[in-house]
Structure 1
């Protein structure tokens, strides 16, 4: 029987479907040392962001050669050493389309939260404060939204922002221009200098520590708003706090952090940061779609065996 290990959980209907098809599904999180043993006796491993599938785990799996497929339930595969895994004969794939709408909606939600002080007003009212005059916000309509990266999620953000009356520009890291109904291509420097809101939608950087650091922030408009629902570590958190304190950045929204769970109190206690605990894909609809994609990937893979 084909054994599937879901280390970070899996949507219930997907588990039920796989079992009905005759697969054995094990839902259990393992610490790294324990995982080295567990991977030797499974054919498929399904992970989210918590489990790291790096060289040591892959080497352990390769000892028996049973593991043939690793699926990341989500968009990125930064937590998996894909080249090394495939070198060892282990296919690595993900579910890139399933959570695009959910992450896009969270991005827009954070933009509203920053623009209208929704998060901090909620918190201060619970402390008995009535800061009606303090929380004068801005409207999103007429503002320029710069999207760094223009993949599936960014395109969903662009659609929603255009309906809100925003002017949307985007940058592709490849530099290739394309005609889009809801957005206009600009180079990265132009985007950074001219956007009122900047939202990141790219993978983790391999060639530099941060995409947005002190130098990039200095290029931005005074009072800019920054959003990161993509990957932790794309923004220099120390530089961000400094810019928030000085007023250079009006507010920031973070769903992802350099360290998760984040222990950076300069971030977690900052009144100008709208925060969520990496929940971009955490909607019922996205989880159902992710589960469905995982089932289809597994069916397709073993039908060709």
Structure 2
């Protein structure tokens, strides 16, 4: 068998993992920090991409009305993401922690790009103050920490990383299943305190047990494969019909899953429909002595109801990685005096329970996942800033045009984010009427529409007038011109 070899590429990694021109990576850069693991590509891919690049080099576009792109990255974004943004020549400032609302309002005034993780809250008030902001990168799966509607109304696109930490969360869930079945965390804590307690009562193998997965998306489907490999039977519930991996079976209702599963694990988004979806009624339907794992969102499980189910021994154990309220930084903050949700205090109750694994929202906290997230989100940010591409945005229509090339020297890319009202396209085309529109695409999402057009025969002195004429349209939310 031929030995694999590294491909050193000068092309950009897109959100789908394919290659496209315009972004250079350091030689040998890998999503893994393993000293022996690196990227590999199939034979022929290098010559293929080089041939495409030689046909027409992608033109590097510059944003009009933005002298220097200022980037603020909070919450210790991974170095891979920082390097991608710095290589573009942007001004990048990094901070290890999140900021409160008032601090953020002061800090964000002249920022064009902000990158956050799960703790920073970008509220409507913060976004109102961010006059220069054009794009937000959530270096995580969730976007509930951002007011998406307010962002769209200000013409600010939001990107996240829905795929990159799926494996890390799935592996954590498998580890928790084994630890709960064997009461490993209790035995470890006892031995740390000097108590030797060798017992087998209430300890089980996971082989032959039934795992019920609620939410069969990227995480749930990977978990399904791992669990079957360990000899578990897998059933899953989702609001839409989904093809099973392996020999897993989809059930019709959540109640059916709860009544049949030995282990129930949750992998659903935070939505009004999922708030407290596991409460007293659902715990009553679960099998006596079963286990619950929540690595999704803190609002999905009614915590007081979970405490009651544990104390009455309805559940034999549980694992919780997410909470209705979470500290904004590391430290001695997981206690009733600093954390309360709508139903009051619950941290002391949780900490008092046996065979309950509590982890500080670390489902995606592996070196591999954070590195992959850094690449995925930063690449999306660069493509939006430099090219206006909204593919993968969670609050904007997905619009993309093929890149301009060096063979098109007198072209400009017009991006016009506007209210979704009649007559806008006619007025925009009137503004552009002195130029040839080579290609154009427009789409809408709710009250916001996104138009992108490449025009030719544009002289640089004309760009300011084009920009001002578009800005003067009553439907305008934000205008950008890349040239």
TM-score, normalisation: structure 2: 0.60
Please give the alpha-carbon distance, in whole angstroms, between the structure 1 residues aligned to 2:214 and 2:134: 34
The 2-side partners of 1:213 and 1:219 are apart by 10
1:186-265 to structure 2, matched below 5 A, reads: 186-187=251-252, 188-207=254-273, 209-261=275-327, 262-263=334-335, 264-265=347-348
What is the match of residue 17 of structure 1? 84
How does 1:61-210 map onto structure 2 within 5 Å?
A: 61=130, 64=131, 66-133=132-199, 136-173=202-239, 175-187=240-252, 188-207=254-273, 209-210=275-276
Q: 1:240, CA displacement in angstroms?
A: 0.7
**Is the contact made by 1:102 and 1:286 (CA closer than 8 Å) also made in structure 2?**
yes
**5+ unaligned residues in a row in structure 2: which ranges?**
1-67, 328-333, 336-346, 389-483
How many residues align? The count is 301
Q: Does the aligned pair in 2 maintain the 1:225–1:249 contact within 8 Å?
A: yes
Maintained 8 Å contact 1:106/1:280: yes
- 3-state SS of 1:45 partner: strand
Checking the alignment, whether the CA contact within 8 Å between 1:251 and 1:272 is kept in structure 2 is: yes
Report if aligned partners of 1:75, 1:96 keep a CA contact under 8 Å in 2.
yes
Cα distance in structure 2, aligned partners of 1:177 and 1:26: 42
Contact 2:216 2:242 in 1 (8 A): no
Which of residues 342, 345, 355 in structure 2 aligns to 1:272? 355
RMSD: 1.5
Offset from partner CA, 1:218-275 (integer Å, 9 cap, x none): 0111111000011112111111111111110110001111111343111123222111
Per the alignment, residue 45 of structure 1 pairs with 114
Q: Is the 8 A contact 1:226 1:251 kept in 2?
A: yes
- Range 250-259 or range 198-207, more displaced: 198-207
Counterpart among 25, 36, 47 of residue 105 in structure 2: 36
Residue segments in structure 1 that go unaligned for 5+ positions in a row = none
**Do 1:205 and 1:211's aligned partners in 2 also have CA atoms closer than 8 Å?**
no
Please state if 1:290 is matched with 2:357.
no
- 8 Å Cα contact 1:114-1:251 kept in structure 2: yes
Question: Cα offset for 1:23?
Answer: 1.2
Contact 2:235–2:248 (CA under 8 A) maintained in structure 1: yes
- Tell whether the 8 Å contact from 1:148 to 1:202 is kept in structure 2 after alignment: yes
TM-score (norm 1): 0.94
**Residue aligned with 1:227, SS:** strand
* 2:72 counterpart residue number: 5
Structure 1 runs of 4+ aligned residues shifted over 4 Å read none
Q: Whose radius of gyration is greater, 1 or 2?
A: 2
User: Does structure 2 retain, via aligned residues, the 8 Å contact 1:146–1:196?
Assistant: yes
Is the CA contact 1:116–1:135 (under 8 Å) kept in the aligned structure 2?
no
Say if 1:123 and 1:179 are closer, same or farther in 2 by CA, change over 3 A: closer
Counterpart of 1:140 in 2: which secondary structure?
coil
Quick one: distance in 1 between partners of 2:167 and 2:275?
28
Distance in 2 (alpha carbons) for counterparts of 1:20 and 1:84: 30
Q: CA deviation at 1:82?
A: 1.2
